[in-house]
Structure 1
Amino acid sequence: MPLADLLQALAIVLVWGVNFVVIKWGVAGVPPLLLGALRFCLVVFPAVFFVRRPALPWRYLAFYGLAVGVGQFGCLFSAIKLGMPAGLASVVLQSQAFFTLLLARAFLGERWRASQLLGLLLALSGLALIGVGKGGNMSAVGFGLTIAAATCWAVSNIVVRQIGRAGHKVEPLGLVVWSSLVPPIPFLLLSWWLEGGERILPALRHFDLQSLFAVAYLAFLGTMLGYGLWSRLLARHAAAKVAPFSLLVPVVGLLASHLLLGESLTDLQLLGSGLLMAGLLVGVFGARLLASVLPGGVRRV
């Protein structure tokens, strides 16, 4: 990979890792569901006028927008507001890779490699340790909502796989921009219902620079710049070379939350995070390592 592309990949990792700290800043001044609505409004306008609509039926755009927009980010923003540490959220959210395996097996009939099964067991053990770990200001509802966010991310991954199976070309940036037309209205309705006008109206009246920065960062840097550069790298290089960079996102998330928010992990949370990341590494690289040492290759189960 050329140096310029390597620097772009690392820039994406930095932007997406710091993203969790910015969410923490954002929900401090804006109710989480309202924050989600504002984020997706800025993603859509004016980008929808410059990014070509992907050649997909509207049902795929709607399903993807609801899963990754309302589901993933609604749960994630609410989780961080309700006591999930930002750094720990960046780690737990990566469990989406294993929820994707489970859903792909259940709904698409995909088979697992032995390395993926081992990675799944390691990750589940890590999640269990994080869940029972005390301290670090982590709430049970925050942890549960982060798991829900990871599950919704996994659902969106299944939608993308189904798009490919149906013979359609997946255009990541176009998919992100045009599916972002879907979340604002559900977000606004949910915000009015669950957060109420007594929280929404004061937040809008006292919308300060920190809130403006958070919304702009999440929309323009975290989404438009991040997914734009990511799509460019995927177009220029094999997915196997690009995808592993995403494993660095929770590392940056943990460091950024420690430096900027003063967060720290308990021993159990640290051990659980290590097991979850080990599971991700085994899931991504295990098949290649086993294939290099086993003459018969890697079997699927």
Structure 2
Amino acid sequence: MALRHFLLILLVVSIWAFNNIAIKWGLLDLPPLLMIAMRFVVVAIILVPFTRVTRQQLYYLVPLGFTFGFMHFALLFVSLNYTDAGTAAVIVQLGTPIAMLLAMVILKEKLRLVQLLGIMISLSGVVVLAGSPTIPNWWVLVLLLLSAFGWAISNMIVKKSPAISPLTLTGWLSFFAIPLVGCASWVVESDQLNLLLHSSWRGWFGILFSAIGSSIVAYSLWYSLLKHYNVNLIMPYSLLTPVLAVIMGVVVLGDSMNSYKAAGALLVIAGTAIAVINLRNLKMHARLPRFRYDRYRKKRTRP
């Protein structure tokens, strides 16, 4: 892998990790549903005028507005109002093994025994995290698990959908999520306009970083890297996101670190890594250039 691409990967996962910090800052000034609604407004304003969708694509984008926009993002923002950034990032990482289980049940995709073992390990990490004081109430854990479940369902929808470019997908699902999240904010929150007008830099930084940095810049870079490298080589790097989120939470926000949080995070991340990393494909990818060179050398030395 070229050094510049490796540095871009580190930049992307760092942006995703720091997004949790930016959200926590924003929540000091703004209620969670209002904040995520404004994030979707910013993304839609930037992307929707420059993208086009077909009627067939709309059948998939509308439900994504609910599963990805409301279930995943809105519930994540609400949960972050009650727990720390690192704990939330770790639990939401369960979206990956949950998606694998859904693919096995719905899409009839086969899972190897080692993958099932990894999923069981990651789920055991949630049991450990449930005892952490960073999760003050059981319903906060439920909200985070529902957020992970929303991410997993969204992956199933995207798998079944016709081809949609990443920026088009991001822009239009944000557009369809606006009325859902906006109505929820109107029902359970109050004084939204006044809070927006009198928000400090933290509120607007949280909105703009989440919308532009995380949604647009990071995902654009990520998908461009996927065009250059094998998926099995790139995807494991995403596991750095919760690790960096925990570290940033401790360093930047002063989040606490306890044995439950450390052990639970380790189990979730290690289990997810076992489930998603295909070592056989990684080895083949690593050996491929050498095999090609050997064939080339034999041709040159052939009498």
What is the TM-score normalised by the length of structure 1?
0.88
Name which of 148, 151, 160 aligns with 1:150. Answer: 148
In structure 2, distance between residues paired with 1:67 and 1:217: 22
* CA separation of 1:264 and 1:285: change in aligned 2, threshold 3 A: same
1:185 — aligned with what?
Answer: 179
2:228 — aligned with what?
Answer: 236
In structure 2, distance between residues paired with 1:285 and 1:177: 30
How many matched pairs? Answer: 284
The reply to whether residue 162 of structure 1 matches residue 160 of structure 2 is yes
1:298 — aligned with what?
Answer: none
1:224 — aligned with what?
Answer: 216
Retained in 1: the 8 A contact 2:99–2:155?
A: yes
2:88 — aligned with what?
Answer: 89
Q: Secondary structure at the match of 2:199?
A: coil
Name which of 261, 276, 283 aligns with 2:253. Answer: 261
Retained in 1: the 8 A contact 2:28–2:202?
A: no
Structure 2 letter corresponding to 1:182: F
Shift of 1:207: 2.0
1:206 — aligned with what?
Answer: 198
* CA separation of 1:142 and 1:55: change in aligned 2, threshold 3 A: same
Q: Secondary structure at the match of 2:175?
A: coil
1:297 — aligned with what?
Answer: none
Listed as ranges, the gaps of 5+ residues in structure 1 are 293-301
What is the TM-score normalised by the length of structure 2?
0.88
Retained in 1: the 8 A contact 2:233–2:282?
A: no
Structure 1 letter corresponding to 2:208: A
Relative to structure 2, which stretch is displaced further, 168-177 or 67-76? Answer: 168-177
In structure 2, distance between residues paired with 1:143 and 1:177: 29
In structure 2, distance between residues paired with 1:231 and 1:106: 27
1:80 — aligned with what?
Answer: 80
RMSD over aligned Cα, in angstroms? 2.0
* CA separation of 1:229 and 1:53: change in aligned 2, threshold 3 A: farther
In structure 2, distance between residues paired with 1:187 and 1:39: 11
Which has the larger Rg?
2
The reply to whether residue 118 of structure 1 matches residue 117 of structure 2 is yes
In structure 1, distance between residues paired with 2:265 and 2:277: 18
2:244 — aligned with what?
Answer: 252
Relative to structure 2, which stretch is displaced further, 104-113 or 2-11? Answer: 104-113
Q: Percent identity?
A: 31
Retained in 1: the 8 A contact 2:26–2:203?
A: yes
Shift of 1:99: 1.1
Shift of 1:106: 2.5
Shift of 1:47: 1.8
Structure 2 letter corresponding to 1:141: W
Alpha-carbon deviations, 1:9-51, whole Å to 9, x = none?
A: 1110110001111111111211111111100000011222234
Shift of 1:137: 5.8
2:97 — aligned with what?
Answer: 98
Retained in 2: the 8 A contact 1:79–1:141?
A: no
1:108 — aligned with what?
Answer: 107
In structure 2, distance between residues paired with 1:248 and 1:151: 20
Shift of 1:265: 2.5
Shift of 1:187: 0.9
Structure 2 letter corresponding to 1:42: V
In structure 2, distance between residues paired with 1:280 and 1:265: 21
Alpha-carbon deviations, 1:139-183, whole Å to 9, x = none?
A: 3322221111101000101111112xxxx2242222112221101
1:57 — aligned with what?
Answer: 57
Shift of 1:202: 3.2
* CA separation of 1:217 and 1:253: change in aligned 2, threshold 3 A: same
In structure 2, distance between residues paired with 1:39 and 1:287: 38
In structure 2, distance between residues paired with 1:223 and 1:142: 24
Listed as ranges, the gaps of 5+ residues in structure 2 are 285-303
In structure 2, distance between residues paired with 1:286 and 1:50: 37
The reply to whether residue 279 of structure 1 matches residue 268 of structure 2 is no
In structure 1, distance between residues paired with 2:265 and 2:278: 19
In structure 2, distance between residues paired with 1:58 and 1:200: 30
In structure 1, distance between residues paired with 2:237 and 2:222: 10
In structure 2, distance between residues paired with 1:55 and 1:9: 34
Retained in 1: the 8 A contact 2:86–2:246?
A: yes
